[in-house]
Structure 1
Amino acid sequence: MSLSGQLSIRLDCQDQVVRSAQVVLQRPVVAISQLLVGLSPVALLERIPLLFALCAGAQQVAAVRALEQAVNWQAAPEVELARSRLTELELIRESLVRLVQDWPLPLPLASLKALLQRCQQGINELQPWLGFRVQPMLHDPQPLHRCMTELQARWPEVEACAQGDWLSPHPALSSQHPQQPLPDVLDLLGLTALLPNLRLGQMEAEINGQPRTTGPAAAAQAGVSLGEQLVQRVQALMRRAAQAVAGLNHPPTIACIPGLEAGEGVGRVKTARGCLLQRVQVQGQQVRQWQMIAPTDWNFHPQGVLTRQLSGLVLPTDPAEAEALVRALVLSIDPCVDFVLHWESSHA
Structure 2
Amino acid sequence: MSSAGNLNIVVSLDGGRSLTARVENTRPRAAAVLVGRHVDEVLRMVPVLFSLCGRAQGIAARAAVAAARGEACAPSIEDERAISCEAAQEHLWRLLLDWPTRFGRLPQRVRFAHLHHRLAQVNDTAAAFDVGGVLLDLVAKELLSGFFLSMREPANLAEFVSATRYGGFVGETLAELIEAGRWTPEGDKVAPLLPPHTAQEWAQMLGGTLPAPEFDRAPAWHGGASPVVCETGALARQSRSPLVAALLGYGHRIAARVFAQVVDLSDHASRLRHPLARDMQPCFDAAPLGEGAGLACVETSRGVLLHALRLEGDIVADYHIIAPTEWNFAPGGAFMQEATGWEAEGRDAALARLDWLALSLDPCVAFTVTQEAAADA
Same fold (TM over 0.5): yes
Residue number in structure 1 paired with 2:19: 19
Whole-angstrom distance in 2 between the partners of 1:210 and 1:309: 16
SS in 2 for 1:66: helix
Residues 248-282 of structure 1: CA deviation (Å, up to 9, x unaligned): 23244256466721211111111111001110101
Residues 199-240 of structure 1: CA deviation (Å, up to 9, x unaligned): 443323112433111112434766533xx2111101111101
Whole-angstrom distance in 2 between the partners of 1:286 and 1:27: 25
Q: Which amino acid is the alignment partner of residue 98 of structure 1?
A: R
Whole-angstrom distance in 1 between the partners of 2:108 and 2:356: 22
SS in 2 for 1:270: strand
Identify which of 49, 54, 57 aligns with 2:55. Answer: 57
Aligned pair 1:150/2:168, yes or no?
no
Identify which of 156, 159, 162 aligns with 2:140. Answer: 159
Residue number in structure 2 paired with 1:244: 268
SS in 2 for 1:90: helix
- Is the CA contact 2:209–2:290 (under 8 Å) kept in the aligned structure 1? no
Aligned pair 1:322/2:337, yes or no?
no
Aligned-pair identity (%): 26
Q: Larger deviation: 231-240 or 246-255?
A: 246-255
Whole-angstrom distance in 2 between the partners of 1:242 and 1:92: 9
Aligned pair 1:285/2:311, yes or no?
no
Whole-angstrom distance in 2 between the partners of 1:334 and 1:34: 24
Aligned pair 1:207/2:221, yes or no?
yes
- Is the CA contact 2:292–2:310 (under 8 Å) kept in the aligned structure 1? yes
Q: Which amino acid is the alignment partner of residue 292 of structure 1?
A: I
Whole-angstrom distance in 1 between the partners of 2:6 and 2:207: 26
1:233-312 matches, within 5 Å, as 233-248=257-272, 249-251=274-276, 252-254=281-283, 256=285, 260-312=289-341
What count of residue pairs does the alignment treat as equivalent?
Answer: 319
Residues 144-163 of structure 1: CA deviation (Å, up to 9, x unaligned): 12321220232203420224
Whole-angstrom distance in 2 between the partners of 1:41 and 1:102: 37
SS in 2 for 1:59: helix
Q: Offset of 1:22 from its aligned partner?
A: 1.2
Identify which of 186, 190, 193 aligns with 1:182. Answer: 190
Aligned pair 1:86/2:82, yes or no?
yes
Q: Offset of 1:308 from its aligned partner?
A: 1.4
Residues 185, 147 of structure 1: CA spacing in aligned structure 2 closer, same or farther, 3 A cutoff? Answer: same
Structure 2: gaps (5+ residues): 146-166
Whole-angstrom distance in 1 between the partners of 2:4 and 2:212: 24
Q: Larger deviation: 44-53 or 156-165?
A: 156-165
SS in 2 for 1:210: coil
Residues 201, 89 of structure 1: CA spacing in aligned structure 2 closer, same or farther, 3 A cutoff? Answer: same
Q: Larger deviation: 299-308 or 321-330?
A: 321-330
SS in 2 for 1:47: helix
Whole-angstrom distance in 2 between the partners of 1:216 and 1:3: 24
SS in 2 for 1:74: coil
Residue number in structure 2 paired with 1:168: 175
Residues 247, 172 of structure 1: CA spacing in aligned structure 2 closer, same or farther, 3 A cutoff? Answer: closer
Residue number in structure 2 paired with 1:38: 36
Residues 330, 199 of structure 1: CA spacing in aligned structure 2 closer, same or farther, 3 A cutoff? Answer: closer
Whole-angstrom distance in 2 between the partners of 1:66 and 1:160: 40
Q: Which amino acid is the alignment partner of residue 231 of structure 1?
A: A
Residue number in structure 2 paired with 1:192: 204
Structure 1: gaps (5+ residues): 126-143
Identify which of 365, 368, 371 aligns with 1:337. Answer: 365
Q: Which amino acid is the alignment partner of residue 205 of structure 1?
A: P
SS in 2 for 1:241: helix
Identify which of 245, 250, 275 aligns with 1:224. Answer: 250
Residues 176-201 of structure 1: CA deviation (Å, up to 9, x unaligned): 22225222222424663135674443
Whole-angstrom distance in 2 between the partners of 1:331 and 1:36: 30
Residue number in structure 2 paired with 1:134: none
SS in 2 for 1:247: helix
- Is the CA contact 2:232–2:324 (under 8 Å) kept in the aligned structure 1? yes
Residues 169, 33 of structure 1: CA spacing in aligned structure 2 closer, same or farther, 3 A cutoff? Answer: same
Residues 82, 173 of structure 1: CA spacing in aligned structure 2 closer, same or farther, 3 A cutoff? Answer: same
